[in-house]
């Protein structure tokens, strides 16, 4: 069926990994007769952006047809695997193909809802099906700490060492890089609850959701260094994400000290790439990638924030709203920094945003009205196809890639997860892979083919958007 073509390309390994994915998808091996290294240069152009691996993996491939079978030619094992998977959603594909962006990710909140190992595995397969190569795992926050380290921080929902190894190994089988995140110096109420000695007793937080790690408190910098060091050691060769967002009320100089400590610890432990949310650009920490999630258009007003909380917290909400004013300067800061930017703007890439188009199932249409983060205005399922990543920031800003996100404050079941993530993840996969601008008509066929696989993975309650699954879209 296949043959290895040189000492750096193990075709048998690629086919074995593809077969494992097919088993998860409930599919049998299609008539692929060979996987081999191409004799000539591949097209299209090499993906732009930052590779999530220390060594750049050329994911381009070429499909050559012969009878009912095909040969997938690629320069790397990752490219051959992508070609095989691409044929599942586009069985008529022929010729050369390859991704637009080098970093194509899905960020998953594993804290606000403590998804178990099997859900993470299923999401990994879902990401692989749609051509993604990064699974960004948000592992710590105010509501919990899913890591088994540092000592004394783990909770009942924390993953074990074996769980983390299983996640990492399963992702590697799918040629996906896990990017683990410890979010600090904000989003740390769970850590402070586990380590009350790290709380600033002279200036305690007005509310747990605005707690942060003060580097002037004895032991805080040691905690940051230990946590980040162990994160790097548990995910060798992977980028690590040190957070850096929403450190409400934190003095800028202290924020800078905390971010610098996290970045330095990551580098000292051997992290090949250090990632932070966009707010980290306001520090002097020399990060490799900055993740852009909030645009100036998303800045809330003091009145809207105050109206969303109980009256006793109105003043606190107004103070939080004022802290978001710094976002207005972030596009220029990001551009001036020269650091590649990972594009994840909440509009349209946060999938906890409700969709506005109806489902072909009236029950889903009604249910969607009560789902997702209430502060986000609903958007059509297809809105992300109209989005241009390069238009968000000043011209010339280097882009690392694109990453969608699902935050889980409002999600309690896998069915709810499926309704919010799908089919939008399918559209995101097409948009991040293909070089041309897309319309709904361009993505209907691959998305519909993928739907049966979603069901087999346990995500059968995906949203039946009328734009994609209605009779008018046929």
CATH number at residue 239: 3.20.20.80
pLDDT, mean of residues 336-358: 97
pLDDT at 1: 28
- Is 337 within the bounds of a domain? yes
The verdict on 36 and 152 lying in the same domain is: no
Final residue before a domain boundary, out of 34, 66, 97: 97
- d(CA 317, CA 300) in angstroms, rounded, equals 10
Reply yes or no on whether the pLDDT at 360 is more than 80: yes
The Cα 231–Cα 181 span in angstroms is: 8
**Position 4 in a domain:** no
| Helices 424-433 & 414-421 angle (0-180, nearest 10) | 40
- 167 belongs to a structural domain: yes
Token pair, residue 435, equals 């070089």
Say whether pLDDT at 288 is over 50: yes
pLDDT band of residue 422 (cuts 50, 70, 90) is very high
Handedness of CA 460, 462, 468, 469 (dihedral sign): positive
Does 104 have pLDDT greater than 60? yes
Q: What is the pLDDT of residue 428?
A: 98
- Regarding whether 82 and 121 lie in a shared domain, the answer is no
pLDDT of residue 473: 44
Same-domain pairing of 147 and 83:
no
- CA 420 to chain CA centroid, Å, is 15
At residue 474, the pLDDT reads 41
**Which residue is it, tokens 């190894």?**
165
What's the rounded Cα separation, in Å, for the pair 384 and 177? 24
C-alpha–C-alpha distance, residues 120 and 146, integer Å: 13
pLDDT class for 355, splitting at 50, 70, 90? very high
Average pLDDT value for residue range 105-125: 98
Q: Where is 315: in which H helix or E strand?
A: helix 314-323
**In this structure, is residue 121 part of a structural domain?**
yes
Q: Is the pLDDT of residue 415 over 60?
A: yes
Q: Give the pLDDT of residue 2.
A: 31
Indicate whether 239 belongs to any domain: yes
* 381 and 318 both lie in a single domain: yes
Shared-domain flag, residues 52 and 181 = no
Q: How many domains does the chain have?
A: 2
Domain boundary residue, one of 62, 97, 132: 97
155 and 17 in a common domain:
no
Contact 104, 144 (CB under 8 A): no
C-beta neighbour count of 463 within 10 angstroms: 27
Check pLDDT > 90 for residue 199.
Answer: yes
* Paired strand residues for 34: 71
**Burial call 408-432: b when 16+ CB within 10 Å, e when fewer:** bebbeebebbbbbbbbbbbbbbbbb
Q: How far apart are CA 283 and CA 472, in angstroms?
A: 51
Task: Determine the Cα–Cα distance for residues 339 and 194; give it in Å rounded to an integer.
Answer: 35
Q: Which residues contact 366 (CB under 8 A, 6 or more apart)?
A: none
User: Span 68-87, mean pLDDT?
Assistant: 91
What global pTM score does this model have? Answer: 0.96
- 113 lies in a domain? yes
Domain boundaries, position 92: 11-97
- Give dist(CA 286, CA 388) in Å, integer: 27
Residue 203 confidence class, pLDDT cut points 50, 70, 90 = confident
Least confident of 56-70, 274-288, 357-371: 56-70
- Helix, strand, coil shares of the chain as percentages rounded to 5? 40, 15, 40
Inform me whether the pLDDT recorded for 143 exceeds 90. yes
Choose one of 97, 119, 145: the last residue of a domain.
97
The yes-or-no verdict on residue 240 having pLDDT over 70 is: yes
- Contact status, residue 181 vs residue 140, Cβ threshold 8 Å: yes
**92 lies in the same domain as 176:** no
Q: Assess whether 361 and 391 both reside in one domain.
A: yes
Residues whose CB falls within 8 Å of the CB of residue 339, separated by 6 or more in sequence, listed in order = 281, 287, 288, 289, 290, 398
Query: Which is more confident, 39 or 27?
Result: 27
What whole-number distance in Å separates Cα of residue 314 and Cα of residue 298? 20
pLDDT at position 416: 98
Residue 470 in any domain: the answer is no
Are residues 72 and 138 located together in one domain of the fold?
no
- Residue 361 binned pLDDT confidence (cut-offs 50, 70, 90): very high
> What is the model's pLDDT at position 5?
35
Query: What span, in angstroms and rounded, lies between the C-alpha atoms of 390 and 393?
Result: 7
Q: Say if 473 falls within a structural domain.
A: no
pLDDT at 34 > cutoff 90: no
- HSE (CB half, 13 Å, CA atoms) of 380? 11
**One domain, residues 54 and 113:** no
27 and 89 belong to one structural domain: yes
Q: How many CA atoms lie within 13 A of 399 on its CB side?
A: 23
**Same structural domain for residues 180 and 57?**
no
Question: What is the arithmetic mean of pLDDT over 61-89?
Answer: 90
pLDDT the model gives residue 40: 63
Model pLDDT for residues 307-332, shown as the tens digit of each residue: 988 999 998 899 899 989 999 999 99
Q: What confidence score (pLDDT) does residue 207 get?
A: 86
Alpha helices in 100-244, H assignment, sequence order: 117-129, 161-173, 189-194, 220-234
Question: Which of these ranges, 61-70, 230-239, 430-439, has the smallest mean pLDDT?
Answer: 61-70
Any idea what the Cα angle at residue 329 is, between residues 210 and 255, rounded to 5°? 40
């Amino acid at each position: 069926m296949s043959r290895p073509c040189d000492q750096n390309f193990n075709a048998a390994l690629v086919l074995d990994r593809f077969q494992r994915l097919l088993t998860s998808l409930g599919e049998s091996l299609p008539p692929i007769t060979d996987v081999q290294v191409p004799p000539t240069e591949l097209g299209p152009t090499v993906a732009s952006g930052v590779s999530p691996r220390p060594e750049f993996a050329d994911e381009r491939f070429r499909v050559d047809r012969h009878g009912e079978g095909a040969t997938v030619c690629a320069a790397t094992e990752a490219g051959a695997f992508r070609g095989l998977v691409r044929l599942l959603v586009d069985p008529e594909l022929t010729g050369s193909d390859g991704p637009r962006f080098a970093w194509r990710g899905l960020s998953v909140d594993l804290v606000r809802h403590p998804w178990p190992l099997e859900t993470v595995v299923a999401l990994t397969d879902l990401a692989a099906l749609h051509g993604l190569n990064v699974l960004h795992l948000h592992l710590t926050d105010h509501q919990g700490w899913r890591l088994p380290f540092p000592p004394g921080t783990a909770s009942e929902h924390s993953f074990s060492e074996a769980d983390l190894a299983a996640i990492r190994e399963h992702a590697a089988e799918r040629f996906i890089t896990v990017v683990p995140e410890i979010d600090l110096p904000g989003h740390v109420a769970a850590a402070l609850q586990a380590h009350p000695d790290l709380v600033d007793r002279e200036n305690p937080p007005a509310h747990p959701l605005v707690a942060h790690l003060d580097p002037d408190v004895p032991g805080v910098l040691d905690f940051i260094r230990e946590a980040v060091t162990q994160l790097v050691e548990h995910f060798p060769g992977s980028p690590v994400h040190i957070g850096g967002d929403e450190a409400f009320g934190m003095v800028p100089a202290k924020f800078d000290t905390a971010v610098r400590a996290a970045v330095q610890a990551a580098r000292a432990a051997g992290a090949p790439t250090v990632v932070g949310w966009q707010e980290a650009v306001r520090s002097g920490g020399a990060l490799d990638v900055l993740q852009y999630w909030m645009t100036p258009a998303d800045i809330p007003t003091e009145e809207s924030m105050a109206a969303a909380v109980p009256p006793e917290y109105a003043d606190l909400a107004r103070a939080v709203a004022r802290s978001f004013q710094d976002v207005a300067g972030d596009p220029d800061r990001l551009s001036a920094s020269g650091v590649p930017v990972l594009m994840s703007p909440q509009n349209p890439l946060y999938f906890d945003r409700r969709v506005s188009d109806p489902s072909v199932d009236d029950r889903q249409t009604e249910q969607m009205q009560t789902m997702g983060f209430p502060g986000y205005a609903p958007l059509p399922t297809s809105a992300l196809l109209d989005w241009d990543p390069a238009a968000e920031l000043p011209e010339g800003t280097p882009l690392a890639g694109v990453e969608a996100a699902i935050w889980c404050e409002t999600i309690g079941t896998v069915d709810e997860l499926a309704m919010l993530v799908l089919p939008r993840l399918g559209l995101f996969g097409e948009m991040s892979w293909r070089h041309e601008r897309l319309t709904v008509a361009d993505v209907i066929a691959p998305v519909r083919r993928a739907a049966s696989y979603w069901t087999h993975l346990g995500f059968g309650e995906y949203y039946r958007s009328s734009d994609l699954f209605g009779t008018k879209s046929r």
